[in-house]
Structure 1
Amino acid sequence: MTETGGPSVRALFFDSPGDAVAAMTKAVRSGAAAGEIRDGLGRMPAAGKDAVLAEVGKVADGILEMGVTDLLDEGWNRYTALTDAAAKSLANPGGRELVEMASHTASVDYRPAVEVHLADLPVATVGMRALLEFQLRGLVAVVADGALTALRAGTWECAGTLELAGQQVARREGAVDMPAEIRFSRPIPLR
């Protein structure tokens, strides 16, 4: 099986997309963000304010669609074995170098935000945070033409916390179900 991006950040925290939308909408309706948004919307009827809050929950959920490996892109070029393989692959165009990675720890602190506007005027900004800690074991990195192109096999464990407007929405730990090979949507330059 080959897949690009691996599972979504959403899949790390929620069992279904519906669960994610419900949790994000509940968090935005019950937290400090709700007061800021309601105040910013002024005299808009309550039903309209509720619709805006529900939409913010859906947009926040949509941000979580990003693939796990997309978040890890930036950290790979720090590892000597990978940069050495990149140099070898550049010396042998079209060739592939396989790098065994016995163990690798990676962390991601992803902080997107949802901006709410009324008639092109900013009303509120709802901050999100996904803090993820990965332990990767038994991976094989595939390097070609000076770039990391794929990861093969191995086991992934993850601990993560998801916050919306400073309020914890979800926390999970456990194994991450990854495909046998993950190809990056665009190669990650290592040299």
Structure 2
Amino acid sequence: MTPKRILLLGKRPDVMQRLLRQVHEAGLQAQGSTDLPTFHQQFNALDFDLIGLGGGLEQPERQALLLAFRRHNPAVEVVDLVAPLVVEQLRYHTQKVAAPLLSDLRVRVPDDVEISFIAADACRLEASFYHYNPQPVEQVVFAGEVPQGVNVVEISKTSLGPGPNFVALKTKTGEILAGRIEA
């Protein structure tokens, strides 16, 4: 099996260097860049199977990158990454053999944090919030069974930490679906 070609994009050079070191130590090969304005001059989306977007990227940047990648390579898989889980996330996406169990993650913060997603089958799920203080802080906010179909989990806003926050949904199969919480 040919190894997947991986590109990581993020904002902070110090975080990118650390993540690339961890990814390489885990036996995965990846390239990375924090130079977003010129990434398209450095890299061609056709040269990659998997592109990971770092958590520091704001929603408009993420959307612009996603559209640019898909325009050049409709087959490329683009995933949202959370720094403390990058190796786990990349391992899952490079080794998966089955269709994803979770999809369509959406997070809204009207009054509480509303996490919606689709589960292809009923499964046991753990949801965690992450923030940096200055090191990564994880807080498990939900653990339990979810039914097949559309699911909505509401968590109190008081569970959010300072600065950017992220949610990660984890299944027992190793799947991790993550995204940034835009409060």
Q: TM-score, normalised by structure 2?
A: 0.26
Between structures 1 and 2, the one with greater helix share:
1
Q: TM-score, normalised by structure 1?
A: 0.25
Between structures 1 and 2, the one with greater strand share:
1
The structure showing larger relative contact order (alpha-carbon pairs under 8 Å, at least 6 residues apart) is: 1
